[in-house]
Amino acid sequence: MPISLEHVSFTYMKGTPFEKTALHDVNLQIEKGEFVAVIGHTGSGKSTLVQHLSGLLHPQKGSVCVDGVNLNAKNAAAKKARNSVGMVFQYPEHQIFAETVYEDIAFGPRNKGLTPEGTDRAVKDAMAFAGLDFETFAQRSPFRLSGGQMRRVAIAGVVAMEPDYLILDEPSAGLDPRARDEIFKEIMALYRKRGIAVILVTHNMEEAARYATRLLVVSDGRIILDGVPHEIFTNHKEELLKVSMDVPPVYKLAECLQEHGLNVKSTPELADLERQILKVRRSRHAD
Amino acid sequence: MLTDITLGQYYPGSSVIHGLDPRAKILATLLFIAAIFFAESMLSYGVLALFVAAVILLSRLPVLMVLRSVKPLWIIILLTLFIHAFTGEGSNVLYQYGFFRLTEEGLIMGIKMSLRLVFLLLISSILTFTTSPIVLTDGIESLLRPFKCIGVPAHELAMMMTIALRFIPTLIEETDRIIKAQTARGADFDSGSLLQRAKNMLPILIPLFISAFRRADELAIAMEARCYRGGEGRTRMHELVYKTGDFIALAIIVLLIAVLAVMRWGLGL
């Protein structure tokens, strides 16, 4: 069962001179098993959008339902529905507070009302997901870890709540390439294993092209493009440039080669493009 | 939402009062407070009231908004009125109920004292309504500079105030984000006993403190990287310069004091 937004509008500081409308009549459905990338320039409303998906902001108009339950309601069912959406904020390591890694990851499961045994299992699972060895890290202070490790502890803290929908706001910001690849490897493993929906907010077109099954482009509080990333990056370059977005470098390279008369197809994978180029070269040599 | 609040009470505008030099405004406010204590007769209170009304009109602020600044202290104002009214010396008893005795003299004294408080509040709120916090800090620094020789760290005080003001919105934003992040992890801040609720605040307070210290550290490095070494020999981008208007404003206040003094001692009004 999906997350669904119907006619959602939201305005910050309503009724003051600083009024700013962040969402205009947004309609959206996200099914379990989808990997959705949300892109948009700074201030486009994408953060406001994902905060609605997790029930942290309530729509001023319209409604947000998760598995058929309105998140805005004040009953136990709505609370359970909100807990089924996990949200990893930007720089999540800034929200770490506990004395040990174990305690910090256990915060969510305990709030969910799990038994001590259940919490223990959830923490162990989440640490295994994040590639943190239980024996080594469980009793260490999270503040003495490296930046990449702290980020994993923080993400594990959300994953430990076993959400059906996982929202990640720029999970790779400020990490080195290796830590970035590792975090995405873990997220992809979780996505494939548990069949959850992942909603990834990013500025990085390559991440959107490589991982997502669906791409949402947000501009001025509206979803202006919604489709398969490959299709959007090949056919809607003009629209993307107009809203200060861009296509991934590998698409640019393919386009450049096409302009030079090389018979290659656009692809999100660099390795795939390499194969095509080599093929063209071999066929030319043969001539 | 937390970030929806507006901080300070600066109300941007382009009136004569807004345009005055902050030092002139601070001095004028202090002088006016002194002038309040020169008033004795009901007539002189009328003069003060007229003056305050004129300043409010000149500042072109919404009148209701200025009057509302009295609201936070209304209990103290009422208490002042009643304590004076019921404990004042005097023979003209208006009303008596057992131990409590309301005298005419006491009532008049009470009204005067509460009026003093009201004037004081109004005039100092006009100062903060018409002067942005940063400009106000500049004014305070400039006024305190002569006291440096007796050890008043004028520049350092002003810098501390500026930094504190600058970081309030940032920290509010940060708090808002941390609250949301912990709420997303199922944290509950509104239920349980008082002790439990205080404990529930820890997941917000600890990250907030850590981030405040980190920001302080980063700011210190950034300031040092730009060769900040205190106020010695430092010039400023916006120099404060007294203009004719500022002298006129100060002259008017001095005149007000003179009028009140003459009314009290010269004419016996």
ipTM of this complex: 0.85
Residue B67 and residue B13 share a domain: yes
Could you tell me if B161 and B203 lie in one domain?
Answer: yes
Residues of B in contact with A57 (CB under 8 A): 1
* pLDDT for position A73: 83
CA distance A287 to A132: 55
Phi/psi region, residue B186 (left: phi>0; alpha: psi -120 to 50; beta: rest), is left
Q: Which of A47, A48, A94, A95 to mutate to test the interface with B (most CBs of B within 10 A)?
A: A95
CA–CA–CA angle B203, B180, A152 (5° rounding): 70
- Do residues B207 and B245 share a domain? no
How do residues A156-202 score in pLDDT, each as one tens digit?
A: 999 999 999 999 999 988 888 888 999 999 999 999 999 999 999 99
Q: Does residue B12 form part of some domain? A: yes
Percent of chain A with pLDDT over 90: 57
Look at chain B and report how many structural domains it folds into.
2
Best probe of the A interface among B178, B180, B185, B202, by most A CBs < 10 A, is B185
pLDDT band of B197, cuts 50, 70, 90: confident
> Is the pLDDT higher at A62 or at B88?
A62
Nearest CA in chain A to B3: A13
- Residue A74 is classified by DSSP as -
Q: Does residue B211 sit in the same domain as residue B260?
A: no
Grade residue B70 by pLDDT with cuts at 50, 70 and 90.
Answer: confident
Does residue B3 register a pLDDT over 70? no
Distance (Å) from the alpha carbon of B123 to chain A's nearest alpha carbon: 26
A72 and A64 Cβ atoms separated by less than 8 Å: yes
> How far is Cα A192 from Cα A269, in angstroms, rounded to an integer?
19
- In angstroms, the CA B50 to CA A16 distance is 32
Cβ-Cβ contacts under 8 Å for B158 (sequence gap 6 or more): B137, B138, B140, B141, B144
Give the closest-approach CA distance of B256 to chain A in angstroms: 38
- What is the rounded CA–CA span in Å between residue A204 and residue A210? 10
Q: Tell the residue number behind the tokens 């937004």, with chain if given.
A: A5
- What is the extent of the structural domain holding B53? 8-131+240-266
Has residue B7 got a pLDDT over 90? Answer: no
The predicted structure's pLDDT at residue B33: 92
Looking at the structure, do residues B127 and B245 belong to the same domain, yes or no? yes
Per the CB < 8 A criterion, the answer to whether A172 and A91 are in contact is no
Q: Which of A54, A57, A56 is nearest to A9 (CA)?
A: A57
Do B26 and B127 sit in the same domain of this protein? yes
pLDDT at B1: 47
- Cβ <8 Å between B207 and A108: no
Handedness of CA A277, A281, A283, A287 (dihedral sign): positive
pLDDT of residue A16: 66
Q: Tokens at residue B140, please? A: 């305070």
Structure tokens at B248: 């006129």
Q: Indicate the SS3 state at residue A71.
A: coil
In Å, what is the CA distance from A45 to each residue of A10, A70, A212, A217, B64? 10, 21, 20, 10, 36
Residues B84 and B164 in one domain: no
Q: Which residues on adjacent β-strands are paired with residue A223? A: A218
Select the more confidently predicted residue: B266 or A287. B266
pLDDT exceeding 90 applies to what percent of chain B? 40
Same domain as B196, residue B251 = no
With bands split at pLDDT 50, 70 and 90, how would you rate the model's confidence at B8? low
On whether any CB of chain B is under 8 Å from the CB of A87, the answer is yes
Per-residue pLDDT, averaged over B152-166, amounts to 86
B230 within 8 A of B130, measured Cβ to Cβ: no
Instruction: Report if residue B234 sits inside a domain.
Output: no
A257-266, B6-15, B20-29, range with greatest mean pLDDT? B20-29
* Model confidence pLDDT, tens digit, residues B221-235: 999 999 888 877 788
Question: pLDDT-based confidence at A10, cuts 50/70/90?
Answer: very high
Which amino acid, A256? C
∠ CA A171-A67-A226 to the nearest 5 degrees? Answer: 55
Q: Which residues of A touch B210 (CB under 8 A)?
A: 94, 143
In B, which residues are within 8 Å of A143 by CB distance?
210
A107 close contact with B: CB closer than 8 A: yes
Q: What is the pLDDT of residue B4?
A: 47
Output the CA angle B216-B218-B221, nearest 5 degrees.
110
Whether B76 and B198 map to the same domain: the answer is no
Who's near B4: CB < 8 A, 6+ residues apart? A12, A13, A16
> CB–CB of B57/B122 below 8 Å?
no
Cβ–Cβ gap B6/A89 under 8 Å? no
Q: What residues contact B36, with CB distance under 8 A and at least 6 apart? A: B48, B116, B119, B120
Which whole number is the average pLDDT over A216-244? 92
Mean pLDDT, chain B, rounded, equals 87
Low-confidence winner among A103-107, A250-254, A266-270 (lowest mean pLDDT): A266-270
- Is the pLDDT at B90 greater than 90, yes or no? no
Arithmetic mean of pLDDT over chain A: 90
Distance (Å, whole) CA A168 – CA A200: 5
Residue B84 lies in a domain: yes
Q: What does the pLDDT read at residue A1?
A: 60
Whether residue B235 is contained in a domain is answered as: no
| Partners of residue A10 in chain B, C-beta under 8 Å | none
Whether A225 shows a pLDDT value over 80: the answer reads yes
Handedness of CA B88, B90, B94, B97 (dihedral sign): positive
- Identify which of A57, A89, A158 has the shortest CB distance to residue B177: A89
| Residue-level pLDDT at A17 | 66
Same-domain status, B60 and B103: yes
> What pLDDT score does B103 carry?
84
Q: Which residue of B has its CA nearest to A114?
A: B186
Q: Tell me whether residue B1 is in a domain.
A: no
Residue B143 lies in a domain: no
Shortest Cα distance, chain B CAs vs residue A159, angstroms: 10
Question: In this predicted structure, which of A46-55, A57-66, B114-123, B188-197 has the lowest mean pLDDT?
Answer: B188-197
With DSSP H G I counted as helix, E B as strand and the rest as coil, what are the percentages for chain A, rounded to 5? Answer: 45, 20, 35
Structural domains in chain A?
Answer: 3-246 (3.40.50.300), 248-287 (no CATH)
At B269, is the pLDDT very low, low, confident or very high (cuts 50, 70, 90)? low
Q: In this predicted model, what pLDDT tens digit does every residue of A34-70 receive, in sequence order?
A: 999 999 988 888 999 999 998 899 999 999 999 888 9
B53 shares a domain with B182: no
